[in-house]
Each structure stands twice: as structure tokens, then as C-alpha cells.
Chain A
Amino acid sequence: MSFPQVQVSMDGFDIIDKEIEQLIYINHNKYLMSDKRIAFFGDTNKVMYLDTKRNEWAIKTINSSRLGSGIGGNVNLDFMYYAAAVTLPNGDALITGGGSSTTVYQFINAKCEIMLRANMN
């Protein structure tokens, strides 16, 4: 397996972040090979993971504070039935529609957080 060569400057983290972003757009499949998990969304504020390398299950609570100000900064997430999701190049998930909605969420995998993205038309 080969990886693209990227020259990065150590002058600032923002530059490094940009280079990494470009790197993962080159071939996100190879990038994701390092952390292969299947995420299941559905239960309120929960995400269930299957680590395909270790064959282990885990459940985490999603931090939904980015969605608005509920008690403790969180709101209850209500994932709609029959939504469709894809894995983004950076390892996050984009969850689209479902139920009677045009809502789009981005699940931030590294922080186990959720944020709203632009609605579908």
C-alpha cells in the first residue's frame, strides 16, 4: 500500500490542518483504513460502534451542544427512520433526511459531537 507524499510546513497548525485536509481528499479510502468502524445511529443521543479490526462493540453518548442550548447545553437528538448516511473523507458521517425531514447532520467522529449542516432542498 502506498500513500501520497505531502510536504508540510511546521510554521503553523492551520497550515498542517489544511495539508491534512487535502491529503484525505486525495484518497479517503486509504486514510480510513487506519480506523475502520461501522457506526449505527438511531437511539436518542447514542451511537453504537463496531470496531471491525477488533470485532468489538461500543456505545457512546453524542454531545449535541452544538445544536442549541438545552439543559446542560445538550438537546435530545431524534434521528429519523429511513435516513441515509455516508462516511465523509475525514471520517465523519453525514446523515441525511429520514422521516418527514430534510435535516442534515454531520457527526464529528473524533469528538462524538453532532452539528447541523445545510438542509436538503
Chain B
Amino acid sequence: MRKEHAAVINGPFVYVMGGYDGVQNIFLNCCEMYNIQKNEWKYFAPMNISKCAFSATVVNKEYIYTFGGYDGGQRLDAIERYHIKDGTWELLNVKLKFPLSNCACFCPQKNKVIVFGGGFSSGFSPFVEQIDVVT
């Protein structure tokens, strides 16, 4: 069971990450990928942090970045990066400016990500953050 997860597409694969299992009441770090052509799901490496309500985007067709989220106790300022070729997750030292859940993000051009909206300590966030991604 999976809700409040994130999904992105890269080529013929859809990557689904994290979320919340409302039956077992657990936050998820497990991830699975869908092969569009074969109609098959397979697990891939789990994230470092179990979380829901985060956003994710593909960057440069090489990485999947996740931003913020909620781990069951608090909103997160964490940024994680998945290296598609290597199949590994990395918890980055750089953080969001403040903990943020339910934000949205996209990659408008190479090495840039826009993160906007979501919920933070003062309610709904009106802020838009441009992050220069160093790959």
C-alpha cells in the first residue's frame, strides 16, 4: 500500500518512491520502478529516509532528487539524490532553507531545480527556491 508517495519518469521507466502505508501505519523508504513496455514492477534501492509528502524530479536524465517531506514526527529539510546509473541513494549535506512538506518541484533546465509551495512552520509556504544542482 502506498500513498503520499512521489513518482517521476525517465525514459521508459516510472520511478515510485516512499510514501505512507496506511494499513501497516508505516512511513516508507522502499522504491519501485515500472517498465512501461513490459508492464512490470521491480524494487530498487531504498531511500535513506522513510518519508511521505515530499517532491521529486529527474535532473539531467541522470539523477532523481527528492526534497523535504514528512517522516511521521516532523517536516524535513532533507535532500536526497538517486544516481540512476549506479542505483545508489545519497543524502546530501545541503538542505532546504527550512523544513517543508507537500512542496512541488521541477527541473526547468540542466543543473537547476525549482522548489515551491508546500507546508512549513508558518502554514502554507509562498516561497519559490531555485537550487543550482552540482552533479
Interface size on A, residues (CB 8 A): 25
Interface size on B, residues (CB 8 A): 24
What is the CA–CA distance of A88 and B22 in the complex, to the nearest angstrom?
A: 27
Cβ B36 vs Cβ A96 within 8 A: no
B49 within 8 A of A: no
Q: B4 contacts which chain A residues (CB < 8 A)?
A: 82
Q: Is the interface of A mostly helix, strand, loop or mixed?
A: loop
B92 within 8 A of A: no
A100 within 8 A of B: yes
Closest to B20 in A: A82
Cβ B22 vs Cβ A89 within 8 A: no
Cβ A121 vs Cβ B22 within 8 A: no
Which 6 A-B residue pairs are closest in the complex by CB-CB distance? A82-B3, A84-B7, A97-B2, A82-B4, A86-B9, A86-B7
Listed in ascending order, the chain A residues whose CB lies under 8 Å from chain B are 25, 80-89, 94, 96-102, 104, 117-121
